[in-house]
A and B are shown apart, each in its own frame.
Chain A
């Protein structure tokens, strides 16, 4: 028997298990997936918890439910991979061999990397919304909050779902407006980047929107530490931003198993060929999702598009053929803008987000870089698609490669 192991049973790992379960001959192949946690979280839903749009039950499901019967699920922390020996050591002492390995261990928040983040004020006035626990704690805090300075801050790039902090602040604007206390809330976005987003045209459109909603933006602010006593963010060049309530995206890093296995860069991301999705160091290791170092967004949609490419290339590798499928970095993200509207971006390694319609010219039905009701519905539908199409490795009616159809070429 030949063995394929998938390390990490989150969005990308679960999706690959479902795809490969259908394609690999079970008389020859066994598939094993390993994850440390029994719950599968719908992470995009964390954003909706604090504002009462989703409840806890909307974002948690048993992990095993999404793993096909023929795939072995091992629930254990992985201690390390010894790639030279094609071996995996589990935390409980077991050892597994593999012929091919797919790494899908994602990325996680590391509040411990910034002095003061885990201080006195952590989960009192400082919250993350990138974990279930963080989002739930923030929900409790925001419910009875009666105003002051709400700061949404980004610690370091890259971080997963780069639009999430914007969505959070747009949703906060709508939430406090509907509560009738928007005039008592000062909203500020603090970012180490030079603008609200990473790409110029999207930044321009999103900045306009932030302006219209009277949300302050402080750019080029690189957090050095958090002063708990005075409730202030302090930057490396000694600027300060004070807050009453801080919703922060802590530094993101790949899981420590990557570091322990000597497979990562300084942020524990695995060096990966951005087109073939093969590890740069080991030809029998492929990498997908947030765990890679490829220069595109860390997002579920990216994992979905990359999944088709990885499947094709993995099958080629197994059969000794050249890896011809090429990933273009395609990302597609709905951005909630509050008040029942949303905007949408669609881009890849070489084309930045452009205005227009999606996926079809003129008829859309979605609009790129423009807040509409339909885009908001698209975002809500995404949850259904996540559990029923994306995780199950089914096709979406969208090509894995980005298309220029419907997009308007423009410069800033």
Chain B
């Protein structure tokens, strides 16, 4: 566990930079993580991010397939929004822990 400064906030992150306390998250932090990943956030990005945060808060496991069925965008669309990491990068920006792909 480590502390990182994102935007101007000090937050708890894991070794890979995923936030460990989703309630420390805000939009400025999201923008900071996104720009590190080379992603410019649009409303569509935020729809996905909000969906991820809601699902995480409800204790639901997340998969690319599930987000692809959310009605916000399909899987191809997710790849366009978050190239190379449709779930990994979106989760990182959403300030939730890295989705544990099931064992």
* Residues in B lying within 8 Å of A, measured CB to CB: 61, 63-66, 69, 75-76, 78-79, 83-86, 88, 100-103
Contact = CB atoms under 8 A, between A and B. Distances in A.
A157 B61 contact: no
Nearest to B69: A266
Contacts of B85: 220
> For chain A, what secondary structure do more than half of its interface residues adopt (helix, strand, loop), or is it mixed?
loop
Interface string A34-58: 0000000000000000000000000
Contacts of A236: 75-76, 78-79, 86
A296 B79 contact: no
6 contacts: A198-B100, A198-B102, A236-B78, A295-B61, A295-B102, A297-B103
Contacts of B84: 220, 237
Nearest to A352: B103
A156 B63 CA distance: 9
Contact of B102 (A157, A220, A222, A224): A157
> Which residue among B75, B78, B102 has the maximum number of chain A CB atoms within 10 Å of its CB?
B102
Contact of A157 (B69, B75, B78, B101): B101
Contact of B88 (A194, A199, A224, A297): A194
Contact of B103 (A192, A194, A199, A266): A199
A198 B101 contact: yes
A193 B101 contact: yes
A198 B65 contact: no
Contacts of B103: 158, 162, 198-199, 295-297, 331, 347
Nearest to A294: B102
Contacts, number: 46
- Pairs A-B, 6 closest by C-beta atoms: A158-B102, A237-B79, A198-B103, A297-B103, A236-B79, A157-B101
Contact of B66 (A193, A194, A266, A347): A266
Nearest to B77: A236
Nearest to B75: A236
A156 B102 contact: no
Interface in A168-209: 192-194, 198-199
A222 B64 contact: yes
A100 B69 CA distance: 34
Nearest to A347: B103
A156 B79 contact: no
A289 to B, nearest CB: 15
A156 B65 CA distance: 9
Interface string A319-349: 0000000000001000000000000000100
A319 to B, nearest CB: 30
Nearest to A296: B103
A132 B103 CA distance: 24
B75 A224 contact: yes
A410 to B, nearest CB: 14
Interface string A234-266: 001100000000000000000000000000001
A112 to B, nearest CB: 15
Contacts of B69: 266
Contact of B83 (A199, A237, A293): A237
